[in-house]
Structure 1
Amino acid sequence: MAELEIILQGLSENDDHETAVNQLLTASDIDNYLFSLAFARKNGVERIEDNLKKVADKSKLFIGIRNGITSVQSIFQLLKIGLTPYVVDTASNKKIFHPKIYAAYGETKAYVILGSANLTFGGLNQNIEASSYIKLNRRQKADEDYLQKLVQTITELTVKYPEHVFQITSPRQAVELLYEGRLEDERLTRLPVTNKTQCDKARDNLKPIPIVEKSNLGQNKPINSRKVKIVANTGVLVWESKPLAERSLNIPHGNNTNITGDTNLGEGLMENIDFQHYFRETVFSDLEWRKEYKSRNSHLERAIINAEIVIKNLSYGEFKMEVTHDPRTDTKSYMQRNVMTKIKWGEARGLIASRDLLGRTLRFFKKNATDFMIVID
């Protein structure tokens, strides 16, 4: 008789799908592995690739495409470790391929994780997800019937729908699907589509739900390694902050706090950026920079950006915001590796100077030369 356990990721202290899937991949006396998933991203494959690589010759993966999420980078990563995944293209936005099944089976036993977790970092670690972990005894008729129905139904998709379900065997084939719009490019981020009338309303002060999180995603690649054409409703992630503190959010801390109205653009969670030059020379290189020679800070270069501000997935409209940069390289501040580029919040300061944003991260997306989106979540 089947044995059942429940995985309540984010809600139960010791539950996460990364651990469960890796346990499934390392179970003894297993001859075959079958994964059927709606979405895949490179950061999801990376969480299980060490063990998945060891059983690549015994594995079949079926992954949905044409869904705005599954990426060409995830397919590259699977090919790199020796898998040639099958992809499922329903050719419709009304009915997408949406199962989340991880199965391992041998002569006498089988293990199945059946629930809500996709092959993404969020699905395996960060989201609130729920699945059943099912241990089957293949000598029991009910257990065997369950497994046979699962395996046959998924594996026969290639025969039943040969035009819609096919195998990717090369990076070139994956790139063709990218150009056709059926796979996503992770170098681009689909920007949130939100209610822009929120700018006329008071912002809520709800803090993040305090769920259990066991793993972090890591650093992001800087824009100078992201040569990519931006298309409609997408942007390139150019910067992500570390967890936001009072200084970054312009929240007063004590009576002697000096509120500057700006936020430093430093290293953040970006991988190996020269932050003293990166923003001026790469992120904001196309802006019209000027100096105010009669100003007390006449050495500063200044430019204006248009930035839509999205907080907790609600848009509060677009704001004109000033960016300042100190181009001097012979100062004590420069020699001490201090931040040289800042963004001034201006009229948007009232939106961000709030304690419910402490500990969240700020992501900066570039839509075109002068238009950006700031997402705090």
Structure 2
Amino acid sequence: MRNFILQAVSEEDHLTPAQDVLRLPDLEVAIISTAFMTAAGLSLLEDSLSRIAPRTRIFVGIRNGVTTVQSIQKALDIGCETYMIDTGTRQRIFHPKLYYARSSVQANLLLGSANLTMGGLRTNIEASVLQEMDPKVDGAFIDELENKLAAMIVDYPENVIRALDAAQLADLQRAGRLIDEQKKRLPEFVGSSSDRALDNVPTMDLHTAPVRVSRPAAPPVIQTVEVIRERAEQVWESNGLTRRHLNIPTGANTNPTGSMLLGVGGWQGIDQRHYFRDNVFEALVWTADPLPARSHLERAEAKICLIIKGVNYGEHWLQLSHNTRTDTVAYVQRNSMTSLHWGDSRGLVAHEDLLGRVMKLYRETEVPSRFTLEID
């Protein structure tokens, strides 16, 4: 049996066939090879792997800016024998993606483009072939697959590193070879532009949706190991953007406000009344409004780089305001008290092709008054 899987543009995804591979009855050996791995992606297969962990090997690339400390720690917690492949350069990375299992009477191989990440298993457009094999017929191929992967451990002892414990992983993070899943990198952009009107491509209407998983915990603190911070950290994420957020009028008589309230969005567990003023934008210079009637409003200005659909539209000075009053109905009801004002940048965001997309805000660690705002 052989099936071709084209994720997202059809009803198929890679999660179900990957789970099916790992649920092979009387399984003797399981192997996962992936270029990139995140704890969010690994959690999708956690139930399947927990039953077969002592018979499972994971090969995963590191030094690639994607694979995280939390994902390797989760693999260890599940009990899988895990090897990290570090080629020693970003010019040639470990890139094969496969999910494989064998019993005495059957072997299953899912081979294609799907990494062990949320995007790889669920939301990206990915393609793979699912092949069912008979060890009696396909024994030579099966042996070749298993032996070539196993040979890397012997042939490249300095580059194929067995994951051992949290202290080792902390050292790898400190060396910059693993990243912290809580500290997201600044978004990479595909190009730069100054004309937003040239890009009105809508979101591709795909058949899959992301699965909500909890944000992973920070890596354990290992005594005497100083972990280097990422260049930037993600400090907020919205839910799907609405017309109100983007200042797109709903009708001819609707006046856009020019601003959006910064609320909880997809960043659960924050107190939206204080989080933005006292945490995210704490490093800015805040001043009270000069008008006595509005002196309860504090105002600040932030330099923010706008990246929209992967295109860099440069840095813009955006205004923020915060209502300091604690005796209002809005405050008692725990509503947001901080607004972001689009100003001259409104023309970049007030476009219908951004409706339903997600906004992410990043703060630079070395200069906490500088930010990157991504919409995609």
Q: String of CA shifts for 1:37-72, please: whole Å, max 9, x gaps.
A: 111111111111111111110111111111111111
Deviates more, 1:248-257 or 1:311-320: 248-257
Structure-1 separation of matches of 2:179 and 2:235: 18
Given that residues 185 and 234 in structure 2 are in contact (C-alpha distance below 8 angstroms), is that contact kept between their aligned partners in structure 1?
Answer: no
Partner of 1:322 in structure 2? Answer: 319
2:274 aligned counterpart, secondary structure = helix
Q: String of CA shifts for 1:141-185, please: whole Å, max 9, x gaps.
A: xx2121111110001111111111121111111111111111112
Partner of 1:6 in structure 2? Answer: 4
1:192 aligned counterpart, secondary structure = coil
Given that residues 300 and 319 in structure 2 are in contact (C-alpha distance below 8 angstroms), is that contact kept between their aligned partners in structure 1?
Answer: yes
Could you say what the CA RMSD is over the residues aligned between the two structures, in angstroms? 2.1
Query: After the TM superposition, which residues 161-180 of structure 1 pair with which residues of structure 2 at under 5 Å, given as runs?
Result: 161-180=156-175
Structure-1 separation of matches of 2:357 and 2:157: 45
Task: Measure how far apart 1:96 and its partner are.
Answer: 1.0
Q: Which amino acid aligns with 1:5?
A: N
Given that residues 15 and 121 in structure 2 are in contact (C-alpha distance below 8 angstroms), is that contact kept between their aligned partners in structure 1?
Answer: yes
1:247 aligned counterpart, secondary structure = helix
1:166 aligned counterpart, secondary structure = strand
Q: Which amino acid aligns with 2:87?
A: T
Given that residues 271 and 334 in structure 2 are in contact (C-alpha distance below 8 angstroms), is that contact kept between their aligned partners in structure 1?
Answer: no
Partner of 1:253 in structure 2? Answer: 250
Partner of 2:125 in structure 1? Answer: 128
Q: Which amino acid aligns with 2:320?
A: V
Change (3 A) 1:365 1:86: same
Structure-2 separation of matches of 1:222 and 1:63: 21
The list of structure 1 runs, each at least 4 consecutive aligned residues, that deviate by more than 6 angstroms after superposition, is: none
Structure-2 separation of matches of 1:323 and 1:116: 43
Partner of 2:369 in structure 1? Answer: 370
Partner of 1:92 in structure 2? Answer: 89
Aligned length: 369
Given that residues 173 and 227 in structure 2 are in contact (C-alpha distance below 8 angstroms), is that contact kept between their aligned partners in structure 1?
Answer: no
- Residues 1:264 and 2:269 aligned together: no
Structure-1 separation of matches of 2:178 and 2:119: 19
Structure-1 separation of matches of 2:186 and 2:83: 28
Query: After the TM superposition, which residues 1-377 of structure 1 pair with which residues of structure 2 at under 5 Å, given as runs?
Result: 3-13=1-11, 15-140=12-137, 143-194=138-189, 197-199=192-194, 202-218=197-213, 220=215, 230-231=229-230, 234-294=231-291, 296-367=293-364, 368-377=367-376
Q: Which amino acid aligns with 1:169?
A: L
Structure-1 separation of matches of 2:97 and 2:344: 45
Task: Measure how far apart 1:83 and its partner are.
Answer: 2.0
Structure-1 separation of matches of 2:329 and 2:85: 58
Task: Measure how far apart 1:353 and its partner are.
Answer: 0.5
Change (3 A) 1:64 1:10: same
Q: String of CA shifts for 1:194-221, please: whole Å, max 9, x gaps.
A: 3775125644111011111143344658
Structure 2 unaligned spans of 5+: none
Change (3 A) 1:229 1:156: closer
Deviates more, 1:333-342 or 1:312-321: 333-342
1:60 aligned counterpart, secondary structure = strand
Q: Which amino acid aligns with 1:89?
A: D
User: TM-score, normalization: structure 2?
Assistant: 0.93
Give aligned-pair identity as a percent: 39
Given that residues 59 and 83 in structure 2 are in contact (C-alpha distance below 8 angstroms), is that contact kept between their aligned partners in structure 1?
Answer: yes
Change (3 A) 1:250 1:371: same
1:139 aligned counterpart, secondary structure = helix
Structure 1 unaligned spans of 5+: none
